Amino acid sequence: MKNPMKGLTTASELFIVLVLSIVGLIATMVLMLILQIVDSTLIELWVLKVFQLLQGILVFGLPAWLCAYLWSQNSANYLSIKKPYHYSNWVTAVIIIIGAFPIVNLLSYLNNAIELPAYMAPLEMWMRAMEMSANALIEEFMQTRGIWALLFNLLVMAITPAICEEMLFRGVIQRILGNALGKHWGIWLSAFIFSFIHLQFYGFFPRLLLGALFGYMLLYSGSLWIPIVAHFTHNALSIIIYYIGMNYGIAAEMESIGYGNSWWLSVIGAVLFCTALWYFLKQRPIAHKRES
């Protein structure tokens, strides 16, 4: 019988999401262990990339689909996998992210400059160690040469996270929290969880704002495809800019775009972002405007 778990409390639904994600993480680790046993000569970096790929699918994507399957008669409709309200939402979402890119980098720079009080020094040391470790791994992932390596990076670090993370955080968690607390609380709380789960505390605030932006894109377009496209665009921009800078000797370190000598890019980005966002909101249906 379909939809056997209808009528669960919000806490129960969130608990089921958590359990399914933990099971997915365990399954990923078991699969990677089997892979290494079968072929112990595998290059470690490629093993880590495959782990990242499987983790995105089994920890985020598959649990989201299972929840949608269990809690609704139409999984795609539950996840809002449908056409957006207006065809221009596709292009506008990409322009919004391009405009936001230097602003996000500026916020990352400011976030990284935060210092905790002296009595919290051990916590700050741990947080910075976590950040350095994560950044070192990401940089190692992106130090690739050749078009096929670039395409594989886009699959692992842009396509898979965009689809699977948006399915879970916007498609499921935002819906659960929005139904219980209201749509705006749902957007911001799911964005908080989205940012926290990355365990990169010195990129917490820009990731929080990106998560909220993805949430509002879903709310005002009616389609999960729009935040998926936006999420992909943001990640792909980082990967491609880094790739160009490393392989073609172009001074294009993406971390510095938007502050320092390129502060003016944040100004241009802000104008582009606000203009595209205004147009995006203008396209939502009249009935939806009244609900908001």
Per-residue pLDDT of the chain (292 residues; tens, 9 = 90+): 445 556 788 899 999 999 999 999 999 988 888 876 666 555 577 778 888 899 999 999 999 999 999 999 899 999 999 988 888 899 999 999 999 888 888 888 888 888 888 888 888 888 888 778 777 777 778 777 788 888 999 999 999 999 999 999 999 999 999 999 999 999 999 999 999 998 788 888 999 999 999 999 999 999 999 999 999 999 998 888 888 877 776 545 555 666 666 667 778 888 998 999 898 988 776 435 534 4
Does residue 259 lie within any of the structural domains?
yes
Among 189, 188, 56, 204, smallest CA distance to 130 is for: 204
Does residue 5 lie within any of the structural domains?
no
Do the Cβ atoms of 93 and 100 come closer than 8 Å? no
pTM of the entire predicted model: 0.88
pLDDT the model gives residue 173: 97
Do the Cβ atoms of 190 and 177 come closer than 8 Å? yes
Does residue 147 lie within any of the structural domains?
yes
Alpha helices in 113-224 (DSSP H): 121-142, 147-154, 160-166, 174-181, 183-196, 204-221
pLDDT the model gives residue 1: 43
Total domain count, the chain = 1
Neighbours of 159 (CB within 10 A): 19
pLDDT the model gives residue 250: 59
Does residue 273 lie within any of the structural domains?
yes
Does residue 102 lie within any of the structural domains?
yes
Expressed as residue numbers, the domain containing 146 is 82-291
Does residue 152 lie within any of the structural domains?
yes
Task: Label residue 28 exposed, middle or buried (CB < 10 Å: 0-12, 13-18, 19+).
Answer: buried
pLDDT the model gives residue 39: 61
pLDDT the model gives residue 38: 64
**CA gap 191, 104 in Å, rounded:** 15
Does residue 272 lie within any of the structural domains?
yes
Does residue 64 lie within any of the structural domains?
no
Separation of CA 170 from chain center: 10
